[in-house]
Every structure is written in structure tokens, then in C-alpha cells.
Amino acid sequence: MKIKAQFGMVMNLDKCIGCHTCSVTCSNTWTNRPGTEYMYWNNVETKPGVGYPKEWENNDEKKGGWHLKNGKLELKAGGKFSKLINIFYNKDLVEIDDYYEPWTYDYENLVNSPEKDHQPVARPKSQLTGEYMDITWGPNWEDDLAGAHETGKNDPNMRNLDEQIKFEFEETFMMYLPRICEHCQNPSCVSSCPSGAMYKREEDGIVLVDQDSCRSWRFCMTGCPYKKVYFNWKTNKAEKCTFCFPRIENGQPTICSETCVGRLRYIGIVLYDADKVLEAASVEDEKDLYEAQLGTFLDPFDPVIQKEAVKQGIPEDWIEAAQKSPVYKLAVEQKIALPLHPEYRTMPMVWYIPPLSPFMNALGGQVDSLSPDVIFPTINQFRIPIDYLASLFTAGDTGVIKKVLRKLVAMRTYMRAVQLNKPFDHSILEAAGMTEEVAEEMYQLSAIAKYEDRYVIPKSHREDSGDMFSHQGNAGFEFMEACRSCMGGGQEADPLEYYESGFWRELDESSPKGV
């Protein structure tokens, strides 16, 4: 057993109002530099829709993630040898136009324009060429289903649905899907990087790109099935969500979480057995991947695990944090959070509580003193089709989605009865596999959602790692433009100095595998 701690996030989609505050604050913090203006490390998509970049979920074509080849886990885009053969031209690369061509506006014209009969306008100008352009696609083109009657048909999650019907006005449905890098347990981007520039941090599982080692081979972008590794077209390097590691290390939530208006994000750590990951990612049936991933997580309350974790160097306060972790609670204890597209076999670590659709509406406003026989069948008639949610979160297994929705419905019905002092049919909770305590705990965590319950973030033990003073200012991207020697209190500090020599280490310490 090799115990690792891993940061994870859960987003409660029922509470997302699609305001894009997370995207904006993330962008202001990390991607307001030339070459990154098209990037949204955090973006919010309206589903159904093709998303950002277009059709990122269509991995039959985009070749992200892993698949089973002769029973063995292999990168979908091809193994190591095929990567080196194709290094001069990556045939599966997503182009910038699939995100969108970044633009600015000719604002000067508003000030400099001579007196005319008409108001001067600020015309859009491409940031790639500096020329005037017509805007035909943007970062959030399908916001609130805009144009989804056309683009929505290309949403891969619509494949199993009667799409004709679902785009009829009376039948339409939508939900928001905020997305960041999944910081996977089995990251296919890291595995696709020929230079070894991408790595997973052993202490907390955060996946990063070493800007100094990136050689512009661009396979990581294809490798990521969520298309969350971006290409800085000015510096020709890959960049991605950092899980705001400078904040996380200091015990603060990521900027997207901190500023989330709906307070729908949860951050915590889970302990997992790294030795089990490969096996779990290789299970034959895609529908078993969700359970398989749950199987890699370790119970932080188990004294045997605790003892072993301490022995393997995991700090005591991190084990405590794992016990209090909202991610562990939502994913493992309450089982209401689900991974996004487990079928990509990357073992993603940003999980989602599926949305419930307008709940009162489905029941015609009559939610008091209902029996399970009435409440649960309505789940099948919710506005957002179960099949659609299953396609997003369980590789098509509708049973799991139904179980989760039952729990959410049962919790609400129960709490409504409690708050209004109404009689309550306890068989509703039983049928959902819950007790009153669990319902109460779910309510506390999802509805009250106190700051300290949503974010249980143990501080990094940086006191053990070198001279922090010379490290000051080294965690951002400023070095790309600013004077390098200005950093670190006047002396040039090499971040890699603080890593083990050879600077990368492998999960399996036995002899490395060949092609």
C-alpha cells in the first residue's frame, strides 16, 4: 500500500447560477497575460452544448484520455513510440479556433474619431493578427442555451437521447457545468508529455507544468480528455490550472472557490492507495470505473490506515484534514458526488453533485406528505434527462444517478418536514438508503455550507523545504515578462533547486517500462 494525499474538489451543480464569477476571478489571477487571453482555466459551460473547446467530450475524435488496448491501459492518442514518430505534427491537436480567436476592441476609435453623423464604434480586432475581424465564436458562445438548437446536437452526451424532442421548446433543459483541471489520479496529460515537464506533486496530487522543461511538443493538450491543458501561443508552452497552489499551500481555497457566489465548491483532501490506481483505471466495464475509483480511496478513520500513513510520511494534521474533508464526505460517505466522465479512465478528482432540475415543478408543487411511491418515480420525469446526467457522470449508468437524485430528494423532503413541523414518511429516507443523521449532515454541508465546512485545507509543510525567503515570488508566471534576477530578494532562484535531484520520480520504483 502506497498512501498518497490528494486535493479534490466537489461542485454542487444544484447551486450553480452560471454567473461566471469563478471564470473571471481565475482569469484575472492567472491568465491576463499575452498568449493566455483565450484561456479559461476555469470556465462555465451551459449543457447541452458543444462546450469549450468545441466538442471537447468527443474523444473518439479528439483522442484524449486512456482506453483499453488488448486489456491493457494505453493512451488513446497512441503510445510512446507513436508519439515520437508523430512529434513533427500532432494530428489530433485542437486548434485555437476550436476555443476561439481572441480579440480586443479598437477602443481608441471612440476617442479619436472625428465628428460624424453617427456614433463611433469600437470594432473587434484579432489579438492574433491585429486585424479587424468578425466574431463568429467565443469562450461562452452557448451561454444559457444560446444557439444550442444548432450546436447542442453535436453534444456527445446527447447521443443516447431523443435529441429531436429535447430541443423542442417545451422539452428543453439546461444545466451549468463549471470546469477546472481535474488533477487526476491517473493523469493522461502527464503521461503524454515526452519531456517529463508535467508532473503530479507527490505531497498533494496537484498537476503542474514545469515552464522551464516544456519543449513545446504539445501532446499534453491532446492527452487531456477534458481539454484543460492550454497552449500559450506567445511563449509556445503549455499552461494549465494550478489549483491555485500558492493559496492552497497556505490553507486558502482556490480563487474560483473563494469567489464562488453560489458557494457551491468544496475543497478537501482524500487519502488513496497509489498502488491501486492502475488496476482501478483498467477495469473492463466503463460503468465500473466510478466504483473502482471509490475503491482507491482510503478510510482516514481506520487506525491501520492512519498508522501506515504516518509511517509513510503523511503529516498528522493532514490525516485529521482527511477526516474532516468535505470531499470525502460527499464522495465516499454520502455518495452524492460523482466524477466527471469516468470513462476517460483518468480518475478525475473534481467531482459533481448532479443537479436536481426544478424539483417543486416536477411534483406540481405538492411535496408535503408524499410517499416514496410518488416521489421517486417523478425522478424519471425530471426536466434534465437521467440519461444525460448518466452520460456526464457515470459512463451511462442511470442507476447511480437515480440513487443520488433519490438522496437529494429525500433530504429536501425530510428537511422541509422538519422546518415546517409537518408529518414525514420515514420510508422516504429508508428507500433512499439514508438515516435522519445523514440527511441532517447532508443538509448542513450543502444548504448551510459554512466556509470552514466547505474548505478543509491543511497547510503545506513548507517549513521542511528550503529557504522560503528566496522562494518568494517564484510561484507565479511573472518571470515570463519581468526581470528574472529581480526575484527572490535580488538573487536568482532556480525553483528546481528545491526538488530532488534528477527532478522527477516515478510512481513505480521498479525498473521503468519500455515502449
Q: Which of 33, 153, 215, 383 binds other proteins (CB under 8 A)?
A: 215
To the nearest whole angstrom, how small is the minimum distance from the Cβ of residue 501 to other proteins? 8
| Residues 6 or more apart whose Cβ sits within 8 Å of residue 194 | 80, 83, 84, 87, 215, 217, 219
Say if residues 229 and 252 touch (Cβ distance below 8 Å): no
Closest CA to 328 of 408, 271, 275: 271
Say if residues 447 and 441 touch (Cβ distance below 8 Å): no
Tally of CB atoms within 10 A around 511: 7
- Nearer to other proteins by Cβ, of 274 and 442: the residue is 274
194 binds other proteins (CB under 8 A): yes
CA distances from 332 to 254, 338, 502 (A): 22, 10, 37
Using the contact rule CB under 8 A, the part of the chain among 41-49, 261-269, 334-342, 496-504 near other proteins is 496-504
504 binds other proteins (CB under 8 A): yes
250 binds other proteins (CB under 8 A): no
Q: Which of 11, 180, 181, 190 binds other proteins (CB under 8 A)?
A: 190
* SS3 (DSSP) at 103: strand
To the nearest whole angstrom, how small is the minimum distance from the Cβ of residue 78 to other proteins? 12
Interaction residues for other proteins, span 459-488 (CB under 8 A):
460, 462-467, 470, 479-480
- Measured over the CA atoms of residue 280, residue 281, residue 286 and residue 290, the dihedral's sign is positive
Q: Which of 236, 250, 312, 435 binds other proteins (CB under 8 A)?
A: 236
- Nearer to other proteins by Cβ, of 29 and 235: the residue is 235
DSSP codes joined into one string, 229-258: EEEETTTTEEEE--TTHHHHTTTPPPHHHH
| Residues 6 or more apart whose Cβ sits within 8 Å of residue 294 | 331, 332
Q: How far apart are CA 248 and CA 261, in angstroms?
A: 19
503 binds other proteins (CB under 8 A): yes
312 binds other proteins (CB under 8 A): no
Q: Residue type at 244?
A: C
490 binds other proteins (CB under 8 A): no
Using the contact rule CB under 8 A, the part of the chain among 171-179, 194-202, 336-344, 441-449 near other proteins is 194-202
159 binds other proteins (CB under 8 A): no
CA distances from 500 to 157, 202, 468 (A): 43, 12, 16
505 binds other proteins (CB under 8 A): yes
Using the contact rule CB under 8 A, the part of the chain among 49-57, 88-96, 141-149, 444-452 near other proteins is 88-96
To the nearest whole angstrom, how small is the minimum distance from the Cβ of residue 57 to other proteins? 20
Backbone φ and ψ of 319, nearest 5°: -65, -40
Tally of CB atoms within 10 A around 213: 16
Using the contact rule CB under 8 A, the part of the chain among 102-110, 122-130, 316-324, 430-438 near other proteins is 122-130
Residue 132 pairs with which residues in a beta bridge? Answer: 125
Q: Which of 233, 275, 374, 383 binds other proteins (CB under 8 A)?
A: 233
83 binds other proteins (CB under 8 A): yes
* Helix segments in 283-397, DSSP class H: 289-296, 303-311, 316-324, 326-328, 359-362, 372-379, 386-393
To the nearest whole angstrom, how small is the minimum distance from the Cβ of residue 131 to other proteins? 7
Size of the site for other proteins (CB under 8 A): 70
- Nearer to other proteins by Cβ, of 218 and 240: the residue is 218
Using the contact rule CB under 8 A, the part of the chain among 49-57, 148-156, 195-203, 253-261 near other proteins is 195-203
Q: What own/partner pairs with CB < 8 Å and gap ≥ 24 does 83-86 have?
A: 83/192, 83/194, 83/219, 84/194
235 binds other proteins (CB under 8 A): yes
To the nearest whole angstrom, how small is the minimum distance from the Cβ of residue 110 to other proteins? 24
Interaction residues for other proteins, span 55-74 (CB under 8 A):
none
199 binds other proteins (CB under 8 A): yes
Q: How far apart are CA 33 and CA 329, in angstroms?
A: 38
Q: Which residues of 218-228 are buried (b: 16+ CB within 10 A; e: fewer)?
A: bbbbbbbbbbb
Q: Which residues bind other proteins (CB under 8 A)?
A: 75, 80-81, 83-84, 87-91, 93, 95-96, 128-131, 186-187, 190-191, 193-196, 198-203, 211-218, 221, 231, 233-237, 460, 462-467, 470, 479-480, 497-500, 503-508, 512-515
